Structure 1
Amino acid sequence: MYINFIGIDGSGKDTIFNLIKEHYPAAVLTKEPGGTKEAEVIRDVLLNQDLSLKERESKILSLKSLNINKETSSLLDKAIEAIHEEGINRAEPFLYAASRSESIEKVIKPALSQNIPILGRRSVACSVAYQGSARNFGMKHIWDLNFPIIEKAYPTLEIFFDLPVSVALERLSGRTGKQDRLDTEDKAFFEKVREGYLSYYKDICPYPYVIIDASQDIPTVFQGVHNIVSNN
């Protein structure tokens, strides 16, 4: 069992994930970006809005001396080149793919080989939606960039928590925690993210998925998701 929980911030995916994981204490828990020491550095480069471009580049270069695989190293080189040419937004596709490469090779594939259940938050679907659709880098382009990384580690199921962006933003309005770099984008950006997700599942996604109405209350959503996961 390898199940990913996907949705824009405010969809409730993290709340449901935290409830579901209590029923699977032996499961490996993953997240994107992040999940390994190296991938956590990439997460900081991507999401920390206080870093300068020079600081981001320095952190990326520091990874080259660590135990990263060849695919990750190549993607980081492309990220540095993109930062030099167009800034951090253009480097996002390569950085998310690099983080994914590390997580899949060091966490997900070993767990799959040992038949250990995996519960994950976010996946390639997020890259297709955010960078492919909302950033206008092209959904197929982002998929093609990531395909060699994920082709032998597809989830057995992906659960997409869908709801109108206006509802998600209303839920988020009460949050007081520090925002990351992507949290500062406007409503139009997140509308394109949602459109990207729905297009991904309709036209690209090669593995099983289910779309949940996340506008319902948490107990209702949890019960539906719990039933789905239990039967997977």
Structure 2
Amino acid sequence: MYIAIEGIDTAGKSTQYELLKSIYTNAIFTKEPGGTPLGVKLRAMALGGEAKSKLAEMFLFLADRAEHTQEIILKNKDRLIVSDRSLISGIAYAKDFPMEMTLVLNLIATSNNIPKKVILLELSKEELIKRLSGKVNDSIESRGVEYLLDIQQRMKQTIIKLGIDFKFIDASLSIEQIHQEIKEFIDV
């Protein structure tokens, strides 16, 4: 089963991802972007702001997604795969382009392989402001609170549009509460 943990920057995806590693010891744990050697390079380019156009940035993420699908998802179809992000982020973050177009491009990049289940960690505006103020922001986080909240809304729309089994969780809950909700959702 292929499961994705989604959420905008600072929602707590990485924390939950690490907690799941101790429970699902036989699972494949991966991330997008950067889950393959090529992906590490593409991630650095995209998050470092090397792409000057939004289209070039989107294609960097699509290239990572295609490589990730080929090298991680398809090669481990018989295992539990837990991914920090997926095509859902790719579609949501490409908000300058029509959703139908980004949906098609992402389905091409993934050879129509989508997560079976998705967990979305949701942040309120107040919580997002608090979390962003406590860190150095990358080129995407620097686009601002309203930008990230719009991305979060697009993530929800994308999950529903793709018809994926989902669980939306309030990211302001305690780490333990969130972890328990995720574990229960995965184990159903």
Per the TM superposition, whether the score is higher than 0.5 is: yes
- Contact 2:62–2:106, Cα closer than 8 Å, also in 1: yes
Partner amino acid for 1:189?
Answer: Y
1:97 to 58, 62, 80: 62
Q: Does 1:159 find its partner at 2:116?
A: no
Q: Deviations 1:199-226 (Å, cap 9, x if unpaired)?
A: 2223x22332221122212111111111
- Structure 2 residue runs without a partner (length 5+): none
1:168 shift after superposition: 2.0
The root-mean-square deviation of aligned C-alpha atoms, in Å, is 1.7
Q: Does 1:147 find its partner at 2:107?
A: yes
1:103 shift after superposition: 0.5
Q: Does 1:106 find its partner at 2:63?
A: no
Q: Deviations 1:55-114 (Å, cap 9, x if unpaired)?
A: x5xxxxxxxxxxxxxxxxxxxxxxxxxx6xxx33221221111100001001110011xx
- Contact 1:2–1:155, Cα closer than 8 Å, also in 2: yes
Distance 1:194 1:39 in 2: 23
Q: Does 1:2 find its partner at 2:12?
A: no
1:228 to 181, 185, 188: 185
3-state SS of paired residue (1:22)? helix
Task: Find the counterpart in structure 1 of residue 151 from structure 2.
Answer: 193
Distance 1:90 1:188 in 2: 21
- Contact 1:129–1:200, Cα closer than 8 Å, also in 2: yes
1:181 shift after superposition: 1.5
Distance 2:99 2:137 in 1: 26
- Contact 2:91–2:106, Cα closer than 8 Å, also in 1: no
Quickly say closer, same or farther: Cα 1:139–1:166, change in 2 above 3 A. farther
Question: How high is the sequence identity, in percent, across the aligned residues?
Answer: 28
2:93 to 105, 130, 151: 130
1:4 shift after superposition: 0.6
Distance 1:94 1:164 in 2: 30
Partner amino acid for 1:127?
Answer: G
1:151 shift after superposition: 4.3
Q: Deviations 1:139-176 (Å, cap 9, x if unpaired)?
A: 1111111112224422221111112133123123223x
Task: Find the counterpart in structure 2 of residue 206 from structure 1.
Answer: 163
Q: Does 1:172 find its partner at 2:137?
A: no
- Contact 2:141–2:148, Cα closer than 8 Å, also in 1: no
- Structure 1 residue runs without a partner (length 5+): 50-55, 57-82
3-state SS of paired residue (1:5)? strand
Distance 2:168 2:178 in 1: 11
- Contact 1:165–1:194, Cα closer than 8 Å, also in 2: no
Task: Find the counterpart in structure 2 of residue 66 from structure 1.
Answer: none
Partner amino acid for 2:185?
Answer: I
3-state SS of paired residue (2:11)? coil
Q: How many pairs does the alignment contain?
A: 188
Higher Cα Rg: structure 1 or 2? 1
User: So what's the TM-score if we normalise by structure 2?
Assistant: 0.91
User: So what's the TM-score if we normalise by structure 1?
Assistant: 0.75
Partner amino acid for 2:100?
Answer: K
